[in-house]
Chains A and B, each alone.
Chain A
């Protein structure tokens, strides 16, 4: 160390770029290897997403790579052994494939829906979705349903785009930024980069959250709110903004359906539908036809929307020539929010009415008086040229704090409407879309409409997941019963656009709507943190029928680590790590696009697979080929793709479509993008370009994309969309009204089953309304007065990182954070052992007093607690002895015999954050250990060695 810059010369150093996958953010990384071992993982400064920065997880990739909890051989449950005990024998990949092939081929020949494929926090839904569709099963979904589908659906059904991975706040130019219910989010690093720049440039940042940590810590103002009540707040903000005239009238008129006339004849079967000019009715196309009417202020008559030089009414009630009474939809919104005063909201949200009013004023005034005007010419879809792009610099962001409640859909609709009122959609300083968004409202993909879409030896006649526009788009049989195992797209949750993975195991176990044969779980820890009601789900996974057969006959789990779920598998497929495989972040799934244009990226292995690990991608290609699924074999039924990289290069969505998984460097020699013939050099080109493809749109295509003629034509030319019609913002949702009408027996053919009729009629409201979350409605809130939440810790990804020696030192166990006063009122001191009890169960854990949480809320870090014996940890590990999982308290079904999912009644979004609890001190003689505890399963043979000391130095074969 006397000469600290001295270097050894016997080092073989190489540096490779790829894409991080310690979380779904997908930053570009540079991996330095010393003698073939990972020495350093740093952010790639040339990557558009993270611009060189990292996060705690990304920088701990070394410890993931060399974790002793990694699976390294295919495993088969020993004959006769119970599930959950890790009693496995090692088998060869060939044997594993034979088992799967035999089983799946038989299912496909008979009843493809008996195979269910569910995937967790993966990023390859393009491939897994393709596989499921080709197989012919409707039972496919990824984590979206239990993650944030409310966010996707609520916004996409309103503005044609969403936060999550599809859009975000333009902090580069915003002046006021309001963040609802976000702890970390998917866009981790970019959001942090943007937030600090924003704060440094003097922007004002307000966080609305029951808890103040993470991002909220650096907010200029923290507005603590009672969980599940943001809808009330947002409606009151809308009320105040309308009352003071702080909305952007021109924007509402031109770009939303605010001025469009709605039939208000309650008796008519047209009630609540837009009045249309008959002659232009266009059926079956997935866009909003321009056939609606405005009421002209000049002539006092109904006129075609967007007639030049017409200024319509936004308010009022009018009578059409045929005597029909109509109102602009904005008037209906005004009527709706009349009662939603700030004073009303105060009693629900706990936020003083004055604060609510001030927030509304800040938003309205900033939007109006700090307007941005950029010298960017653009042309709208009605052909009008604009010399500038204007922006009202109020930006919002929201995530699961809004989404993960059973009233989240309407809350998020309210937020989208608030953003729209302020005129901030796809404008500088406001919300900005990211390709492939905006999409038509709703997007075009549809599931089959009934059971006939599922046929033996045939691909599914539609997508497994879609975007219903109409009750006719539901995936139900003639009795209105679900076709999907998770009951998605049924009357129970009509707009469950991401499925309901959280009900898949319970439904399969109960055989409701039917029994299945094989379930393949990829990258989802369903025996632990991604299930609700974890204790019972674990029992279901191991439950047997009268004949002694497992109720879920065959479970295949593909995982990279010894997770809780692995223990329950009949067949375990050991996956590689992100450093060992090819991978694609595709425009067909969730790319990493920027505001300025589409971006997709790849992973290229920097290390060979460890042990006998095989990338799941290769497993899918292999299985697809063996099962002779059309997309994977040629006309003779012979295997089409050598391997996954080959598939990526050569697969086209349809022969000759020119659309593949990757958008960059298409065409014979890489001269095209988005569409173009397969390019044999595509991988090399990605490799040379930091594993990322970034297309920057011309400036005039970068804003107002819902109505930007240039952009929409560009998007159609490059097959991002099929339509160039404007994507009018749905302040008023006719889609929802159609479901309501159907429930009232006034629309279409399909009717909800009687027990769901009232539910559909209530929750399918074309305008947002506030209701108490469903579970709370059914809870004795005297007995269970507190809301219990989880938050994402920045230094952990779900359950993934307890096997990571560095990250687990930062979060080795978790506490329940309770407002100090609340705790003291309950006689609970700091660090006391307490019970947290909900209607569904109870857990014992340690309490921590906090001043940074609203008094009616308790919270903990998500998924830190682990089951004893998993993740390569010792029996005494803090994770299992002091850590706990809140999921034991949360039910996947609402109380009652109907087996209704504990989800948003519109979208099927899991209501994680609706649970109500009470807390009390544990008895003095109870063990100082969290409860429940689970049996210590056998150690899986052949996992990495664990020793007392870890002294990692790269390049020395693990020796220091």
Chain B
């Protein structure tokens, strides 16, 4: 597939934003459950929620660049019964709304306790955050399923796609949370760093799984099934358009194999290994800049990851568009 930058930014940005929110809510749940003994960093929560929201908004904006007719984008909410894309389109603003409300609760300090369940105080933000969390996860699933549901794209058609979208998004969100925390909530720093490290490791393992899986995939469609001729030697000699067509632009990355290969290593290093090392090293150095670098490097790494995700997918339609002449 041809990696489209609008989609790369969309998925990485919202993944990051969602992850950041989940990081916040995790902390809240932890502290409520008293797993963590912390003070309440109101400013941190309000600021970080807004960052999360901002990322989602940026993602949304990026997505418009993908559309031929953004002015009709509202129509894309109509087919939620069948289309994961439609579902994403619905869940995204809902998530944004609840994250927004969540942030507001902190910002305007409206976090009244409604009732108690046992010793646990149930406040507004907990409920709103719970809904937002559900939405966030639905959003991860929807986004992932947009890709995973296309069964012809065997590289994508796997639960791993959804898992990876989620894990990678969450991991990047926790890293960002750590970085923000270092400014506004130093007490949470180790909590987030620890989580980030764990999540990056898990995400990395799953991503490696999918790399391994895709490497061993055998394409279900072959030129034989594509044109219905049984012969072991079939070579296309003409695709009917010499200056290229939509089919050659949308489904081919147009890069050399070696380039794609290096992208893979770049994302492995930048998206996982380096941030991991940086986060670990921060236990010793405790330098905000290291965290910022980790966030930045990880994000860039994930851009590469997403690029590779597209480039790696070989659409069966490509069988019909091998040869210009």
Return chain B residues, CB-CB under 8 Å to A815.
325
- Are the C-beta atoms of B240 and A810 separated by less than 8 Å? yes
- Are the C-beta atoms of B235 and A812 separated by less than 8 Å? no
- Are the C-beta atoms of B237 and A850 separated by less than 8 Å? yes
Return chain A residues, CB-CB under 8 Å to B243.
809, 812, 878
- Are the C-beta atoms of A813 and B237 separated by less than 8 Å? no
Chain B 216-240 per-residue mask, 1 if CB under 8 angstroms from chain A, else 0: 0000000000000000010101001
- Are the C-beta atoms of A810 and B241 separated by less than 8 Å? yes
| Chain B CB within 8 A of A811 CB | yes
A340 to B114, CA, bound (A): 108
A241 to B314, CA, bound (A): 56
Give the residues from 841 to 855 in chain A that come closer than 8 angstroms, CB to CB, to chain B.
848, 850-852
Return chain A residues, CB-CB under 8 Å to B240.
810
| Chain A CB within 8 A of B242 CB | yes
A851 to B235, CA, bound (A): 9
A815 to B325, CA, bound (A): 8
Return chain B residues, CB-CB under 8 Å to A848.
237, 325
Return chain B residues, CB-CB under 8 Å to A852.
237
Q: Which of A850, A851, A878 contacts B242 (CB 8 A)?
A: A878
Return chain A residues, CB-CB under 8 Å to B235.
851
Q: Which of B233, B237, B242 contacts A812 (CB 8 A)?
A: B242
- What is the distance, in angstroms, from A77's C-beta to the closest C-beta of chain B? 34
Q: Which residue of A lies closest to B235 (CB)?
A: A851
Return chain A residues, CB-CB under 8 Å to B233.
851
Q: Which residue of B lies closest to A820 (CB)?
A: B235
Interface size on A, residues (CB 8 A): 11
- What is the distance, in angstroms, from B184's C-beta to the closest C-beta of chain A? 51
- What is the distance, in angstroms, from A821's C-beta to the closest C-beta of chain B? 14
A811 to B239, CA, bound (A): 11
A809 to B241, CA, bound (A): 5
- Are the C-beta atoms of A810 and B237 separated by less than 8 Å? no
Q: Which residue of B lies closest to A795 (CB)?
A: B240
- Are the C-beta atoms of A811 and B242 separated by less than 8 Å? yes
A49 to B237, CA, bound (A): 32
What band does the interface of chain B fall in when counting residues whose beta carbon is under 8 Å from A? under 10
Return chain A residues, CB-CB under 8 Å to B242.
809-813, 878
Most A C-beta atoms less than 10 A away, residue of B233, B235, B241, B242: B242
A51 to B209, CA, bound (A): 61
Give the residues from 227 to 269 in chain B that come closer than 8 angstroms, CB to CB, to chain A.
233, 235, 237, 240-243
Q: Which residue of B lies closest to A864 (CB)?
A: B242
A815 to B241, CA, bound (A): 14
- What is the distance, in angstroms, from A828's C-beta to the closest C-beta of chain B? 16
- What is the distance, in angstroms, from A819's C-beta to the closest C-beta of chain B? 13
A852 to B240, CA, bound (A): 18
Give the residues from 878 to 909 in chain A that come closer than 8 angstroms, CB to CB, to chain B.
878
Return chain A residues, CB-CB under 8 Å to B237.
848, 850, 852
Q: Which residue of B lies closest to A861 (CB)?
A: B325
- What is the distance, in angstroms, from B102's C-beta to the closest C-beta of chain A? 42
Return chain B residues, CB-CB under 8 Å to A851.
233, 235
A848 to B325, CA, bound (A): 9
A811 to B241, CA, bound (A): 7
- What is the distance, in angstroms, from A489's C-beta to the closest C-beta of chain B? 43
A852 to B325, CA, bound (A): 15
Give the residues from 29 to 64 in chain B that come closer than 8 angstroms, CB to CB, to chain A.
none
A810 to B325, CA, bound (A): 8
Give the residues from 826 to 860 in chain A that come closer than 8 angstroms, CB to CB, to chain B.
848, 850-852
A878 to B243, CA, bound (A): 8
- What is the distance, in angstroms, from A814's C-beta to the closest C-beta of chain B? 8
A878 to B325, CA, bound (A): 12
- What is the distance, in angstroms, from A543's C-beta to the closest C-beta of chain B? 36
Q: Which residue of B lies closest to A814 (CB)?
A: B325
- What is the distance, in angstroms, from A673's C-beta to the closest C-beta of chain B? 45
Return chain B residues, CB-CB under 8 Å to A812.
242-243
- What is the distance, in angstroms, from A868's C-beta to the closest C-beta of chain B? 17
A810 to B240, CA, bound (A): 6
Return chain A residues, CB-CB under 8 Å to B241.
809-810
Chain A 792-813 per-residue mask, 1 if CB under 8 angstroms from chain B, else 0: 0000000000000000011111
- What is the distance, in angstroms, from A824's C-beta to the closest C-beta of chain B? 14
Q: Which residue of A lies closest to B244 (CB)?
A: A809
A848 to B322, CA, bound (A): 13
Chain A 410-450 per-residue mask, 1 if CB under 8 angstroms from chain B, else 0: 00000000000000000000000000000000000000000
A638 to B138, CA, bound (A): 91
Q: Which residue of A lies closest to B325 (CB)?
A: A815
Q: Which residue of B lies closest to A812 (CB)?
A: B242
Q: Which residue of A lies closest to B245 (CB)?
A: A809
- What is the distance, in angstroms, from B241's C-beta to the closest C-beta of chain A? 5
Q: Which residue of B lies closest to A882 (CB)?
A: B242
Return chain B residues, CB-CB under 8 Å to A810.
240-242
- What is the distance, in angstroms, from B254's C-beta to the closest C-beta of chain A? 15
A812 to B242, CA, bound (A): 6
A850 to B237, CA, bound (A): 8
Return chain A residues, CB-CB under 8 Å to B325.
815, 848
- What is the distance, in angstroms, from B132's C-beta to the closest C-beta of chain A? 38
- What is the distance, in angstroms, from B239's C-beta to the closest C-beta of chain A? 10
- What is the distance, in angstroms, from A857's C-beta to the closest C-beta of chain B? 16
Give the residues from 767 to 812 in chain A that come closer than 8 angstroms, CB to CB, to chain B.
809-812
- What is the distance, in angstroms, from A865's C-beta to the closest C-beta of chain B? 13
- What is the distance, in angstroms, from B248's C-beta to the closest C-beta of chain A? 12
- What is the distance, in angstroms, from B224's C-beta to the closest C-beta of chain A? 17
- What is the distance, in angstroms, from B43's C-beta to the closest C-beta of chain A? 52
- What is the distance, in angstroms, from A80's C-beta to the closest C-beta of chain B? 39
Give the residues from 132 to 181 in chain B that come closer than 8 angstroms, CB to CB, to chain A.
none
A809 to B239, CA, bound (A): 11
Q: Which residue of A lies closest to B242 (CB)?
A: A812
Give the residues from 141 to 192 in chain A that come closer than 8 angstroms, CB to CB, to chain B.
none
Q: Which residue of A lies closest to B240 (CB)?
A: A810
A812 to B238, CA, bound (A): 12
Return chain B residues, CB-CB under 8 Å to A809.
241-243
Chain A 695-716 per-residue mask, 1 if CB under 8 angstroms from chain B, else 0: 0000000000000000000000
Partner-B contacts on A (CB < 8 A) = 809-813, 815, 848, 850-852, 878
Q: Could you name 17 residue pairs across A and B whose Cβ atoms are closer than 8 Å?
A: A809-B241, A809-B243, A810-B241, A810-B242, A811-B242, A812-B242, A812-B243, A813-B242, A815-B325, A848-B237, A848-B325, A850-B237, A851-B233, A851-B235, A852-B237, A878-B242, A878-B243
9 tightest A-B contacts by CB?
A812-B242, A812-B243, A809-B241, A809-B243, A815-B325, A848-B325, A813-B242, A811-B242, A809-B242
Q: A809-B241, A848-B237 provided; 16 other pairs, C-beta below 8 A?
A: A809-B242, A809-B243, A810-B240, A810-B241, A810-B242, A811-B242, A812-B242, A812-B243, A813-B242, A815-B325, A848-B325, A850-B237, A851-B233, A851-B235, A852-B237, A878-B242
Partner-A contacts on B (CB < 8 A) = 233, 235, 237, 240-243, 325
